[in-house]
Amino acid sequence: MKVGIVGGTGDIGEGIAMRLSSRHDVIIGSREEEKAAQSSACCLDTLTKRGLPCSCQGHTNQEAVDRSDVIILAIPFKHVEPTLATLKGLSGKIVISPVNPMEKREYFMFVPPPEGSAAMMIRRLIPADARLCTAFNTVAANKWRALDEELDLAIPVCGDDPDAKAVVMELINSVPRVRAYNAGPLAASCMVECLTPLLLNIARFNKMRDVGIQFK
Amino acid sequence: MKVGIVGGTGDIGEGIAMRLSSRHDVIIGSREEEKAAQSSACCLDTLTKRGLPCSCQGHTNQEAVDRSDVIILAIPFKHVEPTLATLKGLSGKIVISPVNPMEKREYFMFVPPPEGSAAMMIRRLIPADARLCTAFNTVAANKWRALDEELDLAIPVCGDDPDAKAVVMELINSVPRVRAYNAGPLAASCMVECLTPLLLNIARFNKMRDVGIQFK
A49-67, pLDDT tens digit by residue?
999 999 999 999 999 999 9
Measured over the CA atoms of residue B7, residue B11, residue B14 and residue B16, the dihedral's sign is: negative
By percentage, how much of chain B surpasses pLDDT 90? 92
How confident is the model over B48-100, as pLDDT tens digits? 999 999 999 999 999 999 999 999 999 999 999 999 999 999 999 999 999 99
- Please state, in angstroms and rounded to a whole number, the distance separating the CA atoms of residues A80 and A74: 9
The pLDDT mean for chain B works out to: 96
Q: What is the pLDDT of residue B89?
A: 97
Report the distance separating Cα A14 and Cα A36, nearest Å.
Answer: 10
Contacts of A109 in chain B (CB under 8 A): 187-188, 191
Query: B89: distance to nearest CA of chain A, Å?
Result: 31
Q: What is the pLDDT of residue B52?
A: 94
| pLDDT value at residue A157 | 98
pLDDT at A148: 87
The beta-carbon neighbor of B197 closest among A185, A191, A214 is A191
Q: Which residue of B has its CA nearest to A185?
A: B107
- Domain B2-205 top-level CATH class: alpha beta
The percent of residues above 70 in pLDDT, for chain A, comes to 100
> For residues B201 and A182, what is the distance between their CA atoms, to the nearest angstrom?
8
Query: Is pLDDT at B145 greater than 90 in this prediction?
Result: no
Cα angle vertex A210, ends A1, B178, to 5°?
Answer: 110
Distance from CA of A116 to the nearest CA of B (A): 11
Closest residue, chain A, to B209 (C-alpha): A216
In total, chain B counts a number of residues equal to 216
Give mean pLDDT, residues B104-108: 96
Chain B residues closer than 8 Å to A106 by CB:
185
Report which of A182, A172, A82 is spatially closest to residue A122, judged by C-alpha positions: A82
Residue A195 confidence (pLDDT) = 97
- Give the distance from CA B94 to its chain's centroid: 12
Cβ A107–B202 below 8 Å, yes or no? Answer: no
Q: Residue ranges of the domains in chain A?
A: 2-205
Q: Which residues of A touch B173 (CB under 8 A)?
A: none
| pLDDT at residue B16, rounded to an integer | 94
pLDDT for residue A149:
85
Q: By CA distance, what is B117's nearest residue in A?
A: A110
* pLDDT for the residue numbered B190: 98
Helix A11-20, helix A33-49: angle, nearest 10: 40
Dump pLDDT digits (tens) for A127-174: 999 999 999 999 888 888 888 888 889 999 999 999 999 999 999 999
Mean pLDDT, chain A, whole residue set: 96
pLDDT at B146 over 90: no
Average pLDDT over residues A18-30: 96
pTM, 2 dp? 0.96
Q: Do A205 and B183 touch, CB atoms closer than 8 A? A: yes
Going edge to edge, which strands form the sheet with A94-97?
Answer: A56-60, A25-30, A2-6, A70-73, A94-97, A131-134, A153-159, A178-182
- Residue A74 predicted with pLDDT over 90: yes
Interface of A with B in 184-213 (CB under 8 A): 184-185, 187-188, 190-192, 194-195, 197-199, 201-202, 204-206, 208, 211-213
List pLDDT tens digits, range A169-213.
999 999 999 999 999 999 999 999 999 999 999 999 999 999 999
> What's the pLDDT score for residue A140?
86
Mutate to test the interface with A, among B102, B177, B191, B194 (most CBs of A within 10 A): B191
> Does the pLDDT value for residue B141 go beyond 90?
no
Burial of B128 (0-12, 13-18, 19+ CB in 10 A): exposed
Predicted local confidence at residue B80, as pLDDT: 97
